[in-house]
Structure 1
Amino acid sequence: MKDRSEALVNDPILARLVNELVTRHGCHTVVLYGSRALGAATAESDWDMLGIRAEGEATRDARLVDGVFFDAFIVPEKDVVDAGANYLHVRGGIPVLDPRGLGVRLVEDAAAALALPPKGLPEAEIAARRAWCRKMLGRIRRGGPADVEAHYRRAWLLFDLLELYFVFRGRHFLGPKESFRWLAAEDAPAHAAFSAALAPGAPVEAIEALVERVLSA
Protein backbone atom coordinates (compact mmCIF):
# COMPACT_ATOMS: atom_id res chain seq x y z
CA MET A 1 0.00 0.00 0.00
CA LYS A 2 1.22 3.48 -0.75
CA ASP A 3 1.61 4.80 2.81
CA ARG A 4 3.54 1.68 3.88
CA SER A 5 5.82 1.83 0.86
CA GLU A 6 6.52 5.47 1.62
CA ALA A 7 7.31 4.56 5.22
CA LEU A 8 9.97 2.14 4.01
CA VAL A 9 11.41 4.62 1.56
CA ASN A 10 11.43 7.55 3.96
CA ASP A 11 12.68 5.79 7.09
CA PRO A 12 16.13 4.28 6.52
CA ILE A 13 16.15 2.66 9.97
CA LEU A 14 12.91 0.81 9.29
CA ALA A 15 14.15 -0.21 5.85
CA ARG A 16 17.39 -1.54 7.38
CA LEU A 17 15.51 -3.59 10.00
CA VAL A 18 13.11 -5.04 7.45
CA ASN A 19 16.11 -6.02 5.36
CA GLU A 20 17.60 -7.80 8.38
CA LEU A 21 14.47 -9.92 8.71
CA VAL A 22 14.36 -10.69 4.99
CA THR A 23 18.03 -11.53 4.46
CA ARG A 24 18.97 -13.03 7.82
CA HIS A 25 15.76 -14.91 8.60
CA GLY A 26 14.04 -15.41 5.24
CA CYS A 27 10.89 -13.49 6.22
CA HIS A 28 8.42 -12.63 3.47
CA THR A 29 6.10 -10.62 5.75
CA VAL A 30 7.04 -8.02 8.36
CA VAL A 31 4.72 -6.25 10.78
CA LEU A 32 5.85 -3.22 12.78
CA TYR A 33 3.94 -3.02 16.07
CA GLY A 34 4.18 -1.43 19.50
CA SER A 35 4.75 2.24 20.21
CA ARG A 36 6.33 3.00 16.83
CA ALA A 37 3.26 1.70 15.00
CA LEU A 38 0.83 3.32 17.43
CA GLY A 39 2.43 6.76 17.23
CA ALA A 40 3.51 6.78 20.89
CA ALA A 41 7.24 6.25 20.44
CA THR A 42 10.04 8.28 21.93
CA ALA A 43 13.62 8.42 20.70
CA GLU A 44 14.47 5.56 23.09
CA SER A 45 11.61 3.27 22.03
CA ASP A 46 12.37 -0.20 20.70
CA TRP A 47 11.59 -1.22 17.16
CA ASP A 48 9.14 -4.06 17.81
CA MET A 49 8.62 -6.26 14.77
CA LEU A 50 7.11 -9.58 13.78
CA GLY A 51 8.65 -11.45 10.89
CA ILE A 52 6.79 -14.30 9.18
CA ARG A 53 8.59 -16.87 7.06
CA ALA A 54 7.43 -19.93 5.16
CA GLU A 55 8.76 -22.46 7.64
CA GLY A 56 11.32 -23.00 10.37
CA GLU A 57 11.34 -22.74 14.13
CA ALA A 58 9.99 -19.70 15.95
CA THR A 59 12.84 -17.57 17.23
CA ARG A 60 13.72 -14.09 18.40
CA ASP A 61 16.28 -11.54 17.24
CA ALA A 62 16.91 -8.80 19.81
CA ARG A 63 19.99 -6.60 19.53
CA LEU A 64 21.33 -3.16 18.81
CA VAL A 65 21.36 -2.29 15.12
CA ASP A 66 22.92 1.02 14.14
CA GLY A 67 22.35 2.37 17.65
CA VAL A 68 18.66 1.38 17.96
CA PHE A 69 17.23 -1.59 19.80
CA PHE A 70 15.73 -4.07 17.38
CA ASP A 71 13.37 -6.63 18.97
CA ALA A 72 11.83 -9.05 16.50
CA PHE A 73 9.91 -12.29 16.81
CA ILE A 74 10.27 -14.60 13.82
CA VAL A 75 7.58 -17.24 13.30
CA PRO A 76 6.56 -19.70 10.57
CA GLU A 77 3.37 -19.15 8.61
CA LYS A 78 1.56 -22.02 10.33
CA ASP A 79 1.82 -20.25 13.69
CA VAL A 80 -0.17 -17.20 12.61
CA VAL A 81 -3.02 -18.77 10.66
CA ASP A 82 -6.25 -18.09 12.57
CA ALA A 83 -4.16 -17.22 15.63
CA GLY A 84 -5.12 -13.61 16.26
CA ALA A 85 -5.85 -14.24 19.95
CA ASN A 86 -2.21 -15.29 20.40
CA TYR A 87 -0.92 -12.11 18.76
CA LEU A 88 -2.72 -9.32 20.61
CA HIS A 89 0.64 -7.56 20.88
CA VAL A 90 0.46 -6.73 17.15
CA ARG A 91 -2.81 -4.81 17.57
CA GLY A 92 -2.62 -1.58 15.62
CA GLY A 93 0.43 -2.89 13.81
CA ILE A 94 1.55 -1.80 10.36
CA PRO A 95 2.40 -4.51 7.81
CA VAL A 96 5.43 -2.87 6.19
CA LEU A 97 6.17 -5.85 3.97
CA ASP A 98 3.13 -7.90 3.03
CA PRO A 99 3.13 -9.40 -0.49
CA ARG A 100 0.47 -11.99 0.39
CA GLY A 101 -1.74 -9.93 2.69
CA LEU A 102 -0.86 -12.20 5.61
CA GLY A 103 0.22 -9.29 7.80
CA VAL A 104 -3.01 -7.39 7.22
CA ARG A 105 -5.07 -10.46 8.10
CA LEU A 106 -3.08 -11.07 11.27
CA VAL A 107 -3.52 -7.47 12.47
CA GLU A 108 -7.25 -7.66 11.69
CA ASP A 109 -7.55 -11.01 13.50
CA ALA A 110 -5.78 -9.55 16.55
CA ALA A 111 -8.19 -6.60 16.58
CA ALA A 112 -11.18 -8.95 16.35
CA ALA A 113 -9.83 -11.11 19.20
CA LEU A 114 -9.23 -8.02 21.32
CA ALA A 115 -12.87 -6.97 20.87
CA LEU A 116 -13.98 -10.20 22.54
CA PRO A 117 -13.55 -11.02 26.23
CA PRO A 118 -10.49 -13.16 27.00
CA LYS A 119 -10.93 -16.82 27.77
CA GLY A 120 -11.67 -16.88 31.47
CA LEU A 121 -9.96 -19.04 34.07
CA PRO A 122 -11.91 -21.67 36.02
CA GLU A 123 -13.39 -20.37 39.26
CA ALA A 124 -11.10 -22.65 41.26
CA GLU A 125 -8.05 -21.11 39.62
CA ILE A 126 -9.32 -17.59 40.26
CA ALA A 127 -9.87 -18.49 43.92
CA ALA A 128 -6.36 -19.98 44.11
CA ARG A 129 -4.79 -16.82 42.71
CA ARG A 130 -6.71 -14.65 45.16
CA ALA A 131 -5.53 -16.84 48.03
CA TRP A 132 -1.98 -16.64 46.67
CA CYS A 133 -2.06 -12.83 46.87
CA ARG A 134 -2.99 -12.93 50.56
CA LYS A 135 -0.45 -15.67 51.28
CA MET A 136 2.33 -13.66 49.66
CA LEU A 137 1.27 -10.55 51.53
CA GLY A 138 1.43 -12.43 54.83
CA ARG A 139 4.94 -13.67 54.06
CA ILE A 140 6.04 -10.14 53.21
CA ARG A 141 4.61 -8.80 56.47
CA ARG A 142 6.60 -11.35 58.49
CA GLY A 143 9.88 -10.50 56.80
CA GLY A 144 12.53 -8.35 58.38
CA PRO A 145 15.12 -5.98 56.88
CA ALA A 146 17.53 -8.86 56.17
CA ASP A 147 14.93 -11.38 54.93
CA VAL A 148 15.93 -11.75 51.29
CA GLU A 149 13.14 -14.25 50.56
CA ALA A 150 10.52 -11.79 51.81
CA HIS A 151 12.08 -9.09 49.61
CA TYR A 152 11.93 -11.45 46.64
CA ARG A 153 8.27 -12.27 47.32
CA ARG A 154 7.53 -8.55 47.57
CA ALA A 155 8.95 -7.99 44.09
CA TRP A 156 7.17 -11.10 42.78
CA LEU A 157 3.79 -10.04 44.14
CA LEU A 158 4.13 -6.47 42.88
CA PHE A 159 5.04 -7.74 39.43
CA ASP A 160 2.07 -10.12 39.20
CA LEU A 161 -0.56 -7.80 40.64
CA LEU A 162 -0.89 -5.71 37.48
CA GLU A 163 -1.83 -8.67 35.30
CA LEU A 164 -4.02 -10.11 38.06
CA TYR A 165 -5.99 -6.85 38.21
CA PHE A 166 -7.11 -7.48 34.62
CA VAL A 167 -7.51 -11.25 35.00
CA PHE A 168 -9.90 -10.81 37.94
CA ARG A 169 -11.97 -8.37 35.89
CA GLY A 170 -12.17 -10.46 32.74
CA ARG A 171 -10.16 -8.01 30.66
CA HIS A 172 -7.21 -8.48 28.33
CA PHE A 173 -3.84 -7.67 29.86
CA LEU A 174 -1.86 -5.70 27.28
CA GLY A 175 1.41 -5.08 29.08
CA PRO A 176 2.46 -2.43 31.57
CA LYS A 177 2.54 0.67 29.36
CA GLU A 178 -0.99 0.32 28.01
CA SER A 179 -2.33 -1.07 31.29
CA PHE A 180 -1.16 1.89 33.35
CA ARG A 181 -2.51 4.25 30.70
CA TRP A 182 -5.90 2.51 30.92
CA LEU A 183 -5.89 2.62 34.73
CA ALA A 184 -5.11 6.33 34.74
CA ALA A 185 -8.15 6.95 32.53
CA GLU A 186 -10.60 4.34 33.83
CA ASP A 187 -9.69 3.51 37.46
CA ALA A 188 -7.78 6.39 39.04
CA PRO A 189 -7.85 4.89 42.58
CA ALA A 190 -6.23 1.68 41.30
CA HIS A 191 -3.64 3.70 39.40
CA ALA A 192 -2.87 5.64 42.58
CA ALA A 193 -2.60 2.38 44.55
CA PHE A 194 -0.09 0.99 42.06
CA SER A 195 1.87 4.24 42.10
CA ALA A 196 2.10 4.19 45.89
CA ALA A 197 3.01 0.49 46.19
CA LEU A 198 5.58 0.56 43.39
CA ALA A 199 7.39 3.64 44.67
CA PRO A 200 10.93 2.91 45.94
CA GLY A 201 10.85 2.19 49.67
CA ALA A 202 7.04 1.97 49.79
CA PRO A 203 5.71 0.73 53.15
CA VAL A 204 3.99 -2.62 53.47
CA GLU A 205 0.74 -0.74 54.11
CA ALA A 206 0.86 0.54 50.52
CA ILE A 207 1.17 -3.03 49.22
CA GLU A 208 -1.71 -4.11 51.45
CA ALA A 209 -3.88 -1.33 50.01
CA LEU A 210 -2.96 -2.37 46.47
CA VAL A 211 -3.77 -6.03 47.13
CA GLU A 212 -7.19 -5.05 48.48
CA ARG A 213 -7.82 -2.92 45.41
CA VAL A 214 -6.82 -5.70 43.02
CA LEU A 215 -8.99 -8.21 44.91
CA SER A 216 -11.98 -5.89 45.00
CA ALA A 217 -13.32 -7.16 41.67
Structure 2
Amino acid sequence: MPTPAQPPVPSAGQTAKRALREQVLAARRLRSAADSEAAEAAIADHVLAWDVVRRASTVACYVSVHREPGTRRLLDALLAGGTRVLLPVLRPDLDLDWALHDGDLAEARRGLLEPTGPRLGVDAVGGADVVLTPGLAASLAGDRLGYGAGCYDRALARVGADVPIGIVLHDDEVGLVVPTEPHDRRVTHLVTPSGISPSAGRR
Protein backbone atom coordinates (compact mmCIF):
# COMPACT_ATOMS: atom_id res chain seq x y z
CA MET A 1 0.00 0.00 0.00
CA PRO A 2 1.56 3.35 -1.00
CA THR A 3 2.56 5.70 1.76
CA PRO A 4 0.51 8.95 1.71
CA ALA A 5 2.55 11.94 0.56
CA GLN A 6 3.62 14.14 3.42
CA PRO A 7 3.02 17.89 3.16
CA PRO A 8 6.22 19.86 2.61
CA VAL A 9 7.89 21.15 5.75
CA PRO A 10 7.81 24.97 5.87
CA SER A 11 11.20 26.62 5.66
CA ALA A 12 12.46 28.83 8.47
CA GLY A 13 11.66 31.88 6.33
CA GLN A 14 8.10 30.73 5.70
CA THR A 15 7.55 30.05 9.39
CA ALA A 16 8.89 33.48 10.35
CA LYS A 17 6.71 35.16 7.72
CA ARG A 18 3.62 33.38 9.01
CA ALA A 19 4.31 34.55 12.56
CA LEU A 20 4.82 38.15 11.42
CA ARG A 21 1.62 38.07 9.36
CA GLU A 22 -0.36 36.91 12.36
CA GLN A 23 1.19 39.65 14.50
CA VAL A 24 0.37 42.43 12.03
CA LEU A 25 -3.14 41.17 11.30
CA ALA A 26 -3.91 41.00 15.02
CA ALA A 27 -2.76 44.60 15.44
CA ARG A 28 -4.86 45.73 12.47
CA ARG A 29 -7.98 44.21 13.99
CA LEU A 30 -7.53 46.51 17.00
CA ARG A 31 -7.45 49.71 14.96
CA SER A 32 -10.45 51.98 15.39
CA ALA A 33 -12.61 53.23 12.54
CA ALA A 34 -11.50 56.80 13.34
CA ASP A 35 -7.83 55.83 13.07
CA SER A 36 -8.51 54.10 9.76
CA GLU A 37 -10.30 57.12 8.32
CA ALA A 38 -7.50 59.47 9.38
CA ALA A 39 -4.89 57.15 7.87
CA GLU A 40 -6.80 56.93 4.58
CA ALA A 41 -7.05 60.72 4.29
CA ALA A 42 -3.37 61.27 5.09
CA ILE A 43 -2.19 58.61 2.65
CA ALA A 44 -4.31 60.08 -0.14
CA ASP A 45 -2.89 63.54 0.49
CA HIS A 46 0.71 62.30 0.44
CA VAL A 47 0.31 60.18 -2.69
CA LEU A 48 -1.50 62.90 -4.62
CA ALA A 49 1.31 65.34 -3.77
CA TRP A 50 4.05 62.85 -4.73
CA ASP A 51 5.85 64.21 -7.77
CA VAL A 52 5.96 60.88 -9.61
CA VAL A 53 2.19 60.51 -9.21
CA ARG A 54 1.56 64.10 -10.27
CA ARG A 55 3.49 63.39 -13.49
CA ALA A 56 2.03 59.91 -14.07
CA SER A 57 -0.44 59.14 -16.81
CA THR A 58 -1.06 55.60 -15.48
CA VAL A 59 -1.02 54.46 -11.85
CA ALA A 60 -1.43 50.83 -10.81
CA CYS A 61 -3.14 50.64 -7.43
CA TYR A 62 -5.58 48.33 -5.58
CA VAL A 63 -8.84 48.53 -3.66
CA SER A 64 -8.24 48.30 0.08
CA VAL A 65 -10.34 45.83 2.08
CA HIS A 66 -10.79 44.94 5.73
CA ARG A 67 -8.28 46.84 7.89
CA GLU A 68 -5.77 47.65 5.16
CA PRO A 69 -4.74 51.31 5.01
CA GLY A 70 -7.50 52.80 2.89
CA THR A 71 -7.14 53.59 -0.81
CA ARG A 72 -10.74 54.51 -1.70
CA ARG A 73 -10.24 58.26 -1.28
CA LEU A 74 -7.05 58.09 -3.32
CA LEU A 75 -8.72 56.15 -6.14
CA ASP A 76 -11.59 58.63 -6.33
CA ALA A 77 -9.16 61.55 -6.50
CA LEU A 78 -7.02 59.93 -9.20
CA LEU A 79 -10.10 59.29 -11.34
CA ALA A 80 -11.38 62.81 -10.80
CA GLY A 81 -8.00 64.17 -11.89
CA GLY A 82 -8.02 62.21 -15.13
CA THR A 83 -5.32 59.70 -14.21
CA ARG A 84 -5.56 56.29 -15.85
CA VAL A 85 -5.84 53.78 -12.99
CA LEU A 86 -5.14 50.05 -13.27
CA LEU A 87 -6.58 47.72 -10.64
CA PRO A 88 -5.72 44.04 -10.12
CA VAL A 89 -7.98 41.10 -10.82
CA LEU A 90 -7.03 37.85 -9.08
CA ARG A 91 -6.78 34.93 -11.48
CA PRO A 92 -7.46 31.29 -10.51
CA ASP A 93 -3.70 30.61 -10.67
CA LEU A 94 -3.16 33.48 -8.17
CA ASP A 95 -1.45 35.66 -10.74
CA LEU A 96 -2.81 39.17 -11.28
CA ASP A 97 -4.66 40.35 -14.35
CA TRP A 98 -5.42 44.08 -14.64
CA ALA A 99 -8.35 46.25 -15.72
CA LEU A 100 -9.02 49.97 -16.00
CA HIS A 101 -10.84 51.49 -13.04
CA ASP A 102 -13.99 53.34 -14.11
CA GLY A 103 -15.50 53.72 -10.67
CA ASP A 104 -17.47 50.45 -10.72
CA LEU A 105 -16.35 47.61 -8.47
CA ALA A 106 -17.68 44.10 -7.90
CA GLU A 107 -17.25 41.67 -5.03
CA ALA A 108 -14.82 38.88 -5.86
CA ARG A 109 -13.14 35.90 -4.23
CA ARG A 110 -11.29 36.22 -0.93
CA GLY A 111 -13.33 39.27 0.03
CA LEU A 112 -11.72 41.42 -2.65
CA LEU A 113 -13.29 44.20 -4.71
CA GLU A 114 -12.32 44.24 -8.36
CA PRO A 115 -12.94 46.40 -11.45
CA THR A 116 -15.65 45.29 -13.86
CA GLY A 117 -14.06 46.36 -17.15
CA PRO A 118 -12.27 44.27 -19.80
CA ARG A 119 -9.15 42.43 -18.68
CA LEU A 120 -5.91 43.81 -20.07
CA GLY A 121 -3.61 40.87 -19.29
CA VAL A 122 -0.93 40.18 -16.72
CA ASP A 123 1.63 42.34 -18.51
CA ALA A 124 -0.49 45.50 -18.34
CA VAL A 125 1.12 46.48 -15.04
CA GLY A 126 4.35 46.97 -16.96
CA GLY A 127 2.81 50.06 -18.55
CA ALA A 128 2.22 51.86 -15.25
CA ASP A 129 4.30 54.90 -14.33
CA VAL A 130 3.88 54.19 -10.60
CA VAL A 131 2.79 51.02 -8.78
CA LEU A 132 1.18 51.00 -5.33
CA THR A 133 0.96 47.63 -3.62
CA PRO A 134 -0.78 46.25 -0.56
CA GLY A 135 1.13 44.39 2.12
CA LEU A 136 1.48 43.78 5.82
CA ALA A 137 4.95 45.07 6.66
CA ALA A 138 8.19 46.31 5.16
CA SER A 139 11.77 46.72 6.25
CA LEU A 140 13.57 50.01 5.74
CA ALA A 141 15.43 48.31 2.89
CA GLY A 142 12.13 47.70 1.07
CA ASP A 143 11.67 44.01 1.84
CA ARG A 144 7.91 43.50 1.55
CA LEU A 145 5.72 41.10 3.52
CA GLY A 146 2.65 40.15 1.49
CA TYR A 147 -0.23 37.86 2.28
CA GLY A 148 1.55 34.69 1.24
CA ALA A 149 0.15 33.86 -2.19
CA GLY A 150 2.97 35.45 -4.20
CA CYS A 151 0.57 37.44 -6.41
CA TYR A 152 2.49 40.68 -6.23
CA ASP A 153 5.91 39.06 -6.43
CA ARG A 154 4.89 37.79 -9.88
CA ALA A 155 3.34 41.12 -10.85
CA LEU A 156 6.31 43.21 -9.71
CA ALA A 157 8.65 41.07 -11.80
CA ARG A 158 6.91 42.63 -14.84
CA VAL A 159 7.55 46.21 -13.70
CA GLY A 160 10.53 48.12 -15.09
CA ALA A 161 13.52 48.74 -12.83
CA ASP A 162 13.05 52.52 -13.06
CA VAL A 163 9.37 52.50 -12.02
CA PRO A 164 8.64 53.62 -8.43
CA ILE A 165 6.90 50.93 -6.39
CA GLY A 166 5.33 51.96 -3.11
CA ILE A 167 3.89 49.73 -0.42
CA VAL A 168 1.00 51.29 1.52
CA LEU A 169 1.21 50.60 5.27
CA HIS A 170 0.43 51.96 8.70
CA ASP A 171 3.35 53.76 10.33
CA ASP A 172 4.10 50.98 12.81
CA GLU A 173 4.29 48.38 10.02
CA VAL A 174 7.42 49.97 8.54
CA GLY A 175 10.93 49.26 9.80
CA LEU A 176 10.24 45.69 10.87
CA VAL A 177 12.54 42.76 10.22
CA VAL A 178 10.91 41.05 7.24
CA PRO A 179 12.11 37.52 6.41
CA THR A 180 12.92 37.12 2.72
CA GLU A 181 13.08 34.35 0.15
CA PRO A 182 14.71 34.37 -3.30
CA HIS A 183 11.43 35.12 -5.13
CA ASP A 184 10.57 38.18 -3.00
CA ARG A 185 10.54 41.56 -4.73
CA ARG A 186 11.56 44.74 -2.96
CA VAL A 187 9.66 48.00 -3.13
CA THR A 188 11.33 51.35 -3.74
CA HIS A 189 9.14 53.50 -1.48
CA LEU A 190 7.32 53.25 1.84
CA VAL A 191 3.92 54.98 1.92
CA THR A 192 2.34 55.66 5.32
CA PRO A 193 0.08 58.26 6.95
CA SER A 194 3.27 60.11 7.99
CA GLY A 195 4.57 60.47 4.45
CA ILE A 196 6.48 58.77 1.63
CA SER A 197 10.10 57.77 1.97
CA PRO A 198 12.47 55.89 -0.34
CA SER A 199 13.57 52.49 0.83
CA ALA A 200 17.23 52.06 1.72
CA GLY A 201 17.66 49.20 -0.73
CA ARG A 202 16.73 49.25 -4.39
CA ARG A 203 15.69 46.45 -6.67
The TM-score with structure 2 as length reference comes to 0.25
In terms of fraction of residues, the more strand-rich structure is: 2
